[in-house]
Amino acid sequence: MIKSSYELVRVFGIPIRLDFSLIILLFLLVVQYGNPLQGLSAGIALLLSITLHELGHSLAAMAFGCRVRDITLMMMGGCATLLSMPRKAWQEFLVAAAGPAVSLALALFGLLTPVRNTFGVFLYYQIGVLNLVLFVFNLLPAFPMDGGRILRAFLQQFFMSRVKATWVASRIGRVIAVLMALSVVYSFLTGKAHGFMLIRLMIAYFIYQSAEREYQAVLFESRAGGGFGGFGPPPGDEVLVSPPPYRSQHEWRDVHRL
């Protein structure tokens, strides 16, 4: 039976898995650069960068006693699946910020390292630019992306409950997802579309769906624990509360996609 992903290596005991959708990403990169060697080199640099980004999240989470199931690299990027999350807002803030911090460090490394040979200049420049894009994009306040989780943790720490903070962050995330999808439509209408537009559209859909799903999971957890206290959406909004994903027989687990 053909699997959708395969374990490549383990780092600090964390399985690193490669999804088959990466073939599409590598193909798009080769087409984008026009040179197979440059396209594959940029693709490898991107995958390593995403892996280190996700390891930043994972190691920060492990430092707070959280369990990491695996890291999966796919066409839309990477995700570290945590079987538990730190319950304190400032800890979640640090876990969410760890990934972008790694990307920023790699961006500075790639852009500031002096290189003389032509291929080295190309490779280091790609490392710098790709990680700079990862840093900026992941800091968008589009929950459940890094920036959205940072916003949720900030709101929870200083202003409101976890449920209310999640509701605010999830709504901002859905607005950004709609704007992202509209930008793809605009690109098609103006004839400026390219292969990566499909990935952007898929990311927008993922953000839009996941924002509500994670809010419902936090709301369910709060109500199950008797801690709802009237927080959440404004009165009058219909809410369908369902259990979070990955329910085990004996416990609930927060499965967290970064």
Positions annotated as catalytic residues are 54
* Residue bearing tokens 């798009």: 28
Are 54 and 79 in contact by the 8 Å Cβ rule? The answer is yes
Nearest 10 degrees: CA dihedral of 158, 230, 145, 100?
20
Listed residue (221, 219, 217, 220) closest to 209, CA to CA: 217
Q: What is the distance between the alpha carbons of residues 242 and 240, in angstroms, rounded to a whole number? A: 6
Q: How would you classify the pairing of strands 14-19 and 5-11?
A: antiparallel
Q: What is the distance between the alpha carbons of residues 256 and 258, in angstroms, rounded to a whole number? A: 6
Q: Where are the beta strands (DSSP E) in the chain?
A: 5-11, 14-19, 68-74, 77-82, 256-257
Q: What is the distance between the alpha carbons of residues 141 and 211, in angstroms, rounded to a whole number? A: 11
